[in-house]
């Protein structure tokens, strides 16, 4: 999940039809408030049967403040026992090698691209902790965007494939547990930050600056071509995948990896309208047992399309 920043919302607002953008600007409504209000109105305009199906989520949408679209996107209250944990997330930042960083778990530096302001850095980090439960179990009453839960998690000695790693906070959190970590990230802005973040773990972390695809070329790679020389026949894999709607293409183009290895897959299924149905069917055809993370996400970025409430992550395992 790429945490929504104010700059992203401003860009989205500028792409609105000019008449709507002018009305928003004239009313002096922030992009956060506009996006949240639009989502709220769409949800509360759903047929009553749909509102009944998502009664708990609709109740939260009615009551939540409108100045933070990330909060309305995860329509659940913070668990009572997690409130203090979130309050105690004191973000320490610094600058090294020309890059800003946030200090994770007291001592691990997670670097961001040059030019990332401190407020954006803190906002991104806290958003990941809030949404993905990086510091432990999800902070919300339901945790639709968590890559793990109490029964499905990365175990000691497994190999981690972080497909679409971005800042790779999940991999940083798990680096001491894994046998190997393979970080797939094709965006140029993340290459130097990732090298700096994982410089203390060179012996077990590899950064693969290509897009995972169904073929291997100068800019793309199949999974087996990227990791084959570093794995053994008895390795087990935990694959975390969040690539903005490209998930089903990766699964289709790398069936040999997903069929011939012992794999646990934690895969986002909310980017495209029918991802949850399609990806579940694909994985079950490959012999995986599947289930979804608890709760739903309210999707409003990259265009607003029905269904508004969507499953966040699918957990799948083939052994």
pLDDT at 10: 47
Per-residue pLDDT tens over the stretch 144-185? 999 999 999 999 999 999 999 999 999 999 999 999 999 999
pLDDT at 284: 98
What are the backbone angles phi and psi of residue 239, rounded to the nearest 5°? -105, 120
Residues contacting 169, CB < 8 A, separation 6+: 104, 110, 125, 128, 132, 134
137: nearest Cα among 54, 80, 187: 80
Query: Does 3 have pLDDT greater than 60?
Result: no
The CATH fold assigned to 136-317 is Rossmann fold (3.40.50)
CB 74 within 8 A of CB 82: no
109: alpha, beta or left? (left if phi > 0; alpha if psi -120 to 50):
beta
Query: Does 259 have pLDDT greater than 70?
Result: yes
Strands (E) across the chain are located at 92-96, 99-104, 108-111, 159-163, 180-184, 205-208, 211-212, 220-221, 236-241, 262-268, 289-292, 297-298, 309-310, 313-317
Per-residue pLDDT tens over the stretch 127-150? 888 778 776 556 778 889 999 999
4: nearest Cα among 95, 54, 71, 90: 71
Q: Which residue has the higher pLDDT, 6 or 253?
A: 253
Domain positions in the chain are 6-73, 136-317
Residues contacting 14, CB < 8 A, separation 6+: 21
**Encoded tokens for 93:** 């930042």
Which range is least confidently modeled, 46-50, 134-138, 262-266, 271-275? 134-138
What are the backbone angles phi and psi of residue 75, rounded to the nearest 5°? -80, 60
What are the backbone angles phi and psi of residue 282, rounded to the nearest 5°? -60, -45
Q: Which of 74-78, 192-196, 297-301 has the highest mean pLDDT?
A: 192-196
Per-residue pLDDT tens over the stretch 46-105? 999 999 999 999 999 998 877 665 678 889 988 777 666 666 667 788 999 999 999 988
3-state SS assignment for residue 189: helix
């Amino acid at each position: 999940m790429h945490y929504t920043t104010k700059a992203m919302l401003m860009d989205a607002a500028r792409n609105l039809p000019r008449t709507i953008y002018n009305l928003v600007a004239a009313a002096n409504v922030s992009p956060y408030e506009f996006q949240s209000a639009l989502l709220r109105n769409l949800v509360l305009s759903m047929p009553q049967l749909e509102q009944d199906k998502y009664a708990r989520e609709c109740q939260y949408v009615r009551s939540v403040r409108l100045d933070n679209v990330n909060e309305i996107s995860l329509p659940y209250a913070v668990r009572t026992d997690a409130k203090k944990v979130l309050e105690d997330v004191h973000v320490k930042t610094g600058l090294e090698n020309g890059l800003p960083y946030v200090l994770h778990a007291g001592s691990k530096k997670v670097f961001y691209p040059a030019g990332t302001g401190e407020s954006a850095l803190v906002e991104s980090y806290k958003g990941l902790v809030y949404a993905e439960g990086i510091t432990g179990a999800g902070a919300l009453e339901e945790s639709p965007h968590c890559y793990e839960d109490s029964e499905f998690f990365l175990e000691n000695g497994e190999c981690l494939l972080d497909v679409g790693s971005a800042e790779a906070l999940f991999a940083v959190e798990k680096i001491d547990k894994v046998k190997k970590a393979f970080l797939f990230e094709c965006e140029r802005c993340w290459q130097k930050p990732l090298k700096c973040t994982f410089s203390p773990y060179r012996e077990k972390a590899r950064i693969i600056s290509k897009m995972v695809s169904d073929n291997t070329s100068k800019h793309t790679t199949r999974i087996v071509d990227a990791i084959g020389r570093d794995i053994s026949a008895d390795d087990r894999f935990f694959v975390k995948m969040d690539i903005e709607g490209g998930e089903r293409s990766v699964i289709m183009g790398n069936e040999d990896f997903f069929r011939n290895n012992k794999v646990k897959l934690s895969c986002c299924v909310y980017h495209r309208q029918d991802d949850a149905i399609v990806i579940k069917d694909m994985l079950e055809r490959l012999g995986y047992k599947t289930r979804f993370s608890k709760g739903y996400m309210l999707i409003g970025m990259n265009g607003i399309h029905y269904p508004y409430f969507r499953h966040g992550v699918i957990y799948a395992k083939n052994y």
